[in-house]
Amino acid sequence: MKRLLFLILFSFFLISCSFAQKGTTTQHDTQMKWWREARFGMFIHWGLYSVPAGTWNEKTGYGEWIRTSAEIPLETYEQFMPRFNPVGFNADEWVKAARDAGMRYIVITSKHHDGFCMFDTKQTDFNIMKTPFKRDPMKELAVACEKYGLKFCFYYSIMDWHHPDYLPRREWEKDRTVGDADYNKYVAYMKAELKELLTQYGNIGVLWFDGEWEPTWNQTRGLDLYNYVKGLQPSILVNNRVGAGRLDMEGLTKQGMFGGDFGTPEQQIPPTGLPGTDWETCMTMNDHWGYNSNDKNFKSSKEIIRMLVDIASKGGNYLLNVGPTSLGTFPRESIDRLRDIGKWMELNSESVYGTNASPFVSTPWGRCTMKSVKGGFRLYLHVFNWPANSQLLVGGCLNKVNKAFILSDKNHPALKTVRVDDAIIISVPSAPPDSINTVVVLDFKGAPDFTDPPEISAAFSSLVDSLKITLSSPRPKVEIRFVVSDTVKQVDMGGVLYQGPFNLYNEYVVNARCFRDGKPVSGTSSRRFELKVPYAARAVSELKPGLSYRYFEGEWDNMPNFKKLQQWVFGTVDTLTLAPKKRNENFAMYFFGYIKVPKRTLYKFTLSSDDGSKLFIDDRLMINNDGLHSMLEKGMETGLNAGYHAIRVEYLQRTGSAGLELYIESPGVPKKLVTKEMLFHE
């Protein structure tokens, strides 16, 4: 009876979680609307760390991590408080600087990892009200954002190097013993502070969580915190760092994991657009988030403007950071960049705000953003490389041009256009009005008709016996023709008319193209599928369940050569686990034995780890996931005969969170963790 009751209750929990995660789609889209239109925001990292300004013990490379990177004891770090008096702080100036740069929202550190609170909290004295400043800059910024029409947003770190109940402690802080630290009390503290932030500072646009990567935090806690925050302000947006599913600095959310309302690539821009995914790249102007008085390595205004449109052309938002000084002023270089960006945005902002990702696979002259307009659509061509012959070629669009013009030209005088096949050629002036980025606008009537080639999809990229291939195109009134060959081939009307999925039984290239009324209306897409010859199974006997392992300690940034190491601990484990570790940081392990597979077919292994890892099958390196990174997964496909195959997994943990997972999947068998029933050793 108890088990039935538990199952019923657990089912309700799962159902509530799924709805609580994002509500209904339309409600989520409504809440995301301002954010998707904004496209551009200011990140501000400001706190006690601005007092040392990146320097400690003659070293000058620190930033907001200075307390732990320079191993500054808590009592010493707290001595920065009486020195923190940002008399130069002026909320109106900050907000106007963001607004005039074309930024539509501000995300500021209410509390970073050091635990120092930049707001008037009653939960701890470790806050700005206890400094000579005695003012609440968050309150003043909230008022200024309301005044100038920007969304005000908070960054809040889950990791906290100050609170006595936060765990884990820093490895180097031997004097700060765990004592009776209670992580649940820390979560209650966080919720109390979040309640202050979400009930005393007006409507907050985004709660930007961070510091979620340590093992004490997990998906369950993340979902609970998401629901708690949404309970306080239902329309607030929450990033994916509230949970535990972020893929490292790539910033997107692991498949199947809870990801809040948007992904958070950091210091990088995804290589292509991510249809159906909301994401925001956060980036510093120089090399530090927090103020570093020695860091003069600022990106040029040209780089920043081009990054802004690169991100918008992929459907993302750009959160550009400023690290204010301990006096409460922006660095001169930041002010100069914001001014230049503002000048460009003043003439061109409509090509960023409210736009969608480029419809093109490639635009060699620059980037493209797109917007629906009454009765048609508009393309914004961001031209970085001005055509020497004054002929700007835009390939891949079959719509009739209604008008072409330069966005920054007053009265928008029309530019001449002609069509050659699927290309539109625009006659532009001999010199670009803006050498950084001139925006040429193309207006069209009707629904977009781009010449995207068909998509060639399959469950795997290789095969042992057979593989099902599906061809598709979202475009109206087209037929797909294809050719299966040994090489990449252009498809013409002689290609086979696609009428449904088909199987491959050997290594081939599938080539496909869209046609309309007997004419090609797209380029050809091609995809090679590799034949895998299965590895022979090993002749083994008298195996025992589980894997053997070896454990070593040391500080490595890449996988060590285990043969040269002194062995610390060894034994067997049921399955891949870090349980034998003797400490949380600076150790390496390797596991070895056999994996038993049930049939002769293709197998895809996926290895996910924080930090580095490697997978060997039958002594061949299958996956190299080495290096220092948060949970990062890499996959590889191979053919195996039924039976036992040698397996070896190497693992490296430096500092911070740790994790190791190995998945397996095969045709008709979904991806799942490798289980102990599959693992054996001699």
Q: Which residues bind ligand FHN (CB under 6 A)?
A: 64-65, 210, 266, 282, 289
Answer yes or no: are the C-beta atoms of 478 and 513 closer than 8 Å.
Answer: no
CA–CA distance, 231 with 155 (Å, rounded to integer): 18
Least distance (Å) between residue 112 CB and ligand FHN: 6
- The phi, psi pair for 207, rounded to 5°, reads -105, 110
Smaller CB separation from ligand FHN, 65 or 616: 65
Least distance (Å) between residue 249 CB and ligand FHN: 7
What residue has token string 């907000």? Answer: 95
What residue has token string 């949404």? Answer: 230
CA–CA distance, 321 with 334 (Å, rounded to integer): 9
CA–CA distance, 101 with 335 (Å, rounded to integer): 10
Closest CA to 180 of 159, 170, 165: 165
Least distance (Å) between residue 307 CB and ligand FHN: 16
Answer yes or no: are the C-beta atoms of 673 and 662 closer than 8 Å.
Answer: yes
The DSSP call for residue 49 is: G
Chain centroid to Cα 643, Å, comes to: 39
Pull the structure tokens for residue 149. Answer: 């029409």
Helix (H, G, I), strand (E, B) or coil at 9: helix
Smaller CB separation from ligand FHN, 64 or 193: 64
Smaller CB separation from ligand FHN, 160 or 266: 266
Element of type H or E holding 417: strand 417-420
- Angle among Cα 518, 523, 528 to the nearest 5 degrees reads 115
Least distance (Å) between residue 111 CB and ligand FHN: 11
Residue showing the smallest CB distance to ligand FHN in the complex: 289
Least distance (Å) between residue 662 CB and ligand FHN: 26
Least distance (Å) between residue 32 CB and ligand FHN: 20
Smaller CB separation from ligand FHN, 109 or 524: 109
Element of type H or E holding 256: none
- DSSP labels for 315-326? T-EEEEEE---T
Smaller CB separation from ligand FHN, 18 or 69: 69
Pull the structure tokens for residue 122. Answer: 């009653």
Helix (H, G, I), strand (E, B) or coil at 380: strand
CA–CA distance, 383 with 381 (Å, rounded to integer): 6
Question: What Å distances lie between residue 253 and 37, 250, 256, 257, 263, CA to CA?
Answer: 22, 9, 8, 7, 6
- Which residues are registered as beta bridge partners of 366? 383
Type of residue numbered 3 = R
Smaller CB separation from ligand FHN, 52 or 495: 52
Pull the structure tokens for residue 211. Answer: 């510091």
CA–CA distance, 667 with 325 (Å, rounded to integer): 57
Query: How far is the first Cα of the chain from the last one, in angstroms, to the nearest whole number?
Result: 43
Least distance (Å) between residue 156 CB and ligand FHN: 11
| Greatest extent of the chain over all pairs of C-alpha atoms, in Å | 85
Smaller CB separation from ligand FHN, 52 or 342: 52
Least distance (Å) between residue 77 CB and ligand FHN: 15
CB atoms within 10 A of CB 503: 11
Least distance (Å) between residue 115 CB and ligand FHN: 13
Smaller CB separation from ligand FHN, 208 or 444: 208
Nearby residues of 209 by Cβ (< 8 Å), 6 or more positions away: 155, 156, 157, 158, 225, 238, 239, 241, 242, 260
CB atoms within 10 A of CB 145: 26
Least distance (Å) between residue 157 CB and ligand FHN: 7
Least distance (Å) between residue 187 CB and ligand FHN: 20
**Residue length, the chain?**
682
Half-sphere exposure of 487 (CA within 13 A, CB side): 2
Dihedral angle sign, alpha carbons of residues 94, 96, 99, 104: positive
Smaller CB separation from ligand FHN, 286 or 351: 286
Answer yes or no: are the C-beta atoms of 81 and 133 closer than 8 Å.
Answer: no
Least distance (Å) between residue 64 CB and ligand FHN: 5
Least distance (Å) between residue 628 CB and ligand FHN: 13
Smaller CB separation from ligand FHN, 299 or 367: 299
Least distance (Å) between residue 113 CB and ligand FHN: 6
Smaller CB separation from ligand FHN, 64 or 443: 64
Pull the structure tokens for residue 130. Answer: 């206890």
Question: What Å distances lie between residue 27 and 21, 30, 226, 355, CA to CA?
Answer: 12, 5, 16, 20
Least distance (Å) between residue 665 CB and ligand FHN: 30
